[in-house]
Structure 1
Amino acid sequence: MQNLIGKTALITGAAAGIGREIALQLAAEGVDLFLLDVDESGLADTTETASLLGVKVASRRCDLTDSKQISATIQEVLSTWGGVDILVNNAGVAFYGPTHTMTAEQWDWLLGINLLAPIQITRELLPSLLNRPEAHIVNVSSICGLVQGNRFSAYQVSKYGLLGFSEALRAEYSRQGLGVSAICPGPVTTRLFEVAPSGRDGKQTPIPPRWICTTPELVAQKAVKAIYRDQGICLVGWVAYVLYYLKRIAPWSLDLAFRFGRRRRMKKKAQQLALQAEQQFERSAESSSKAA
């Protein structure tokens, strides 16, 4: 986009963190805003602050796990403004813990907010976006959408999916004036990890140390630049760059790191299973003798 003054934007997860900063920086560029979040208090604060920058700001509480609420919100946006020029799918949640302990409900909750909601919002707004001379979609993904890790599998699946969705849209609609950017920051100083549920008994979700984190302000700055430049994938933070190029130059190194200590752990696991089998056999034999 050459000029953002007078444009309109819909932003999810606008009550705090990255969404709030993107809202404020777009407002500073002269963009009118329609803001969504489930945190009504934070949403009201962002709305008030953005309004001070001299743009029109509307907001609505919207639970992104509820497809009916999403559709009702999109209809309100279309009836109010006739559509938007910029869509920012930012809202996201995380879950920490072993994949095999996650319930179906936890998977549905996370994928619903991080992946299915952005797909639904995009799908329902796409006709109006394509009807603009130029429009732009910003999907806030993560370096976790490019590089594997552990104990955050559902989060990574959602971010890999969002990145793939972004690239598919970009390939399909670029010639029609629709720009699509996937923002892929490393760890950010937001409350994402702090409020993420933990599936490990007695252990909280680990919070990355601040020295490896980037800031929501920088992510927002890069997002706005991506809109201006029609940038496809936008890395943010030194950690994101290191992991991105490590994955491409020496992908074996990451796999090696995750397999470190495998033989020792496999041997210990085999011993534990053998001990369990022996104990089970002894209990069965004891039960048989008592029955006799």
Structure 2
Amino acid sequence: MQSLCGKRALVTGAAAGIGREISLQLAAEGVDLFLLDIDESGLADTVETASLLGSQVFSQYCDLSEPQQITNAVQAVLDEWGYIDILVNNAGVAFYGPTHTMTAAQWDWLLAINLLAPIQMTRELLPTLINRPEAHIVNVSSICGLVSGSRFSAYQVSKFGLLGFSEALRAEYSRQGLGVSTICPGPVTTRLFETAPCGRADKKTPVPPRWLCSTPEVVALKTIKAIYQDKGLCLVGWFAYLLYYVKRLAPWALDLAHRFGRHKRMKKKAEQLKQGPVLQTAEKRATDSQSNAA
């Protein structure tokens, strides 16, 4: 994109964190904004700050887990402007814990916000985007969309899916002048982890140490640069680069890390399973003896 000044953008998850900083950076570039979030207080604060930068700013409450609210928000944007030039799918949530402890409702909630909402938002706005002289879609994914870890499987599935969706859009619409960028930061100093539900009893979702994290401001600056350069994949933070290149140059190293201690744990599990029937038999005999004595 040659210039951002005078463009119009829709940003989801704009009340705090990365979404807020992207909104403010766009406003500083002269972009008019339509901001969405469920945090009405934080959203109002972003609107006020962005307005001070000289942009025209509108906002609306929108629960991205509700498809009808997404449709209503899209219609509100089109009623106000008739078109947009930039779509930023930023809003996201996480869940921490063993995959087998997640309920169907938790899976549906996370995938609805992180993956299905960006797909619906993009699908409903594509007709106006591809008819603009210059337009751009930004999907804020994560390094988790490229490299898997443990106990964040639903989050990782959603981010892998968002990355694949972005690549498909870029392959299909690049010739028509539509830019598509996927932003993949490592850990960021937002409240994503602090607010993420935990599936492990009496535990909280662990928060990455600050020395491992990038800031929302850095992610926003990289996002603006990616829009200008029409960059397909944008990594943010040294940790994201490290994981990215380890995955590509030495994928066996990550697999080895995931399997570390496996033999010892499997041996312990086998012993427990072997002892199980013995313990059950002993308990049954004790119960039978008590019954006979009675």
Residues 6-42 of structure 1 deviation map (CA, whole Å, 9 limit, x = unaligned): 1000000000000000000000000000000000000
RMSD: 1.1
Residues 186-240 of structure 1 deviation map (CA, whole Å, 9 limit, x = unaligned): 0000000011110011111000000010000000000000000000000000000
Residues 123-157 of structure 1 deviation map (CA, whole Å, 9 limit, x = unaligned): 00011101111200000000000001000000000
1:276 maps to what in 2? 276
Residues 38-93 of structure 1 deviation map (CA, whole Å, 9 limit, x = unaligned): 00000000000000011100000000000011101111111111121000000000
1:113 and 1:66 mapped to 2: Cα distance? Answer: 9
**TM-score under structure 1 normalisation?**
0.98
**TM-score under structure 2 normalisation?**
0.97
1:232 and 1:45 mapped to 2: Cα distance? Answer: 31
1:92 and 1:209 mapped to 2: Cα distance? Answer: 20
1:281 and 1:229 mapped to 2: Cα distance? Answer: 70
2:19 and 2:56 mapped to 1: Cα distance? Answer: 17
Task: List gaps (5 residues or longer) in structure 2.
Answer: none
Secondary structure of residue in 2 paired with 1:223: helix
Would you say 1:203 and 2:203 are equivalent positions?
A: yes
Question: Which amino acid in the other structure matches residue 126 of structure 2?
Answer: L
Question: Which amino acid in the other structure matches residue 190 of structure 2?
Answer: T
Secondary structure of residue in 2 paired with 1:105: helix
Secondary structure of residue in 2 paired with 1:220: helix
1:25 maps to what in 2? 25
Matched residue pairs, number?
292
1:281 and 1:11 mapped to 2: Cα distance? Answer: 62
1:21 and 1:75 mapped to 2: Cα distance? Answer: 25
1:151 maps to what in 2? 151
1:165 maps to what in 2? 165
Secondary structure of residue in 2 paired with 1:256: helix
Would you say 1:105 and 2:138 are equivalent positions?
A: no
Question: Which amino acid in the other structure matches residue 9 of structure 2?
Answer: A
1:246 maps to what in 2? 246
2:61 and 2:206 mapped to 1: Cα distance? Answer: 29
- TM-superposed deviation, 1:285: 4.5
1:74 and 1:127 mapped to 2: Cα distance? Answer: 12
1:192 maps to what in 2? 192
Question: Which amino acid in the other structure matches residue 158 of structure 1?
Answer: S
1:56 maps to what in 2? 56
Task: List gaps (5 residues or longer) in structure 1.
Answer: none
Secondary structure of residue in 2 paired with 1:279: helix
- TM-superposed deviation, 1:275: 2.1
Question: Which amino acid in the other structure matches residue 209 of structure 1?
Answer: P
1:230 and 1:43 mapped to 2: Cα distance? Answer: 28
2:109 and 2:37 mapped to 1: Cα distance? Answer: 15
Moved over 3 A (4+): 283-292
- TM-superposed deviation, 1:291: 7.2
1:157 and 1:287 mapped to 2: Cα distance? Answer: 48
Identity rate of aligned residues, in percent?
74
- TM-superposed deviation, 1:288: 5.9
Residues 236-278 of structure 1 deviation map (CA, whole Å, 9 limit, x = unaligned): 0000000000000000000000101100000111111222222
Secondary structure of residue in 1 paired with 2:193: coil
Secondary structure of residue in 2 paired with 1:193: helix
2:114 and 2:108 mapped to 1: Cα distance? Answer: 10
- TM-superposed deviation, 1:279: 1.8
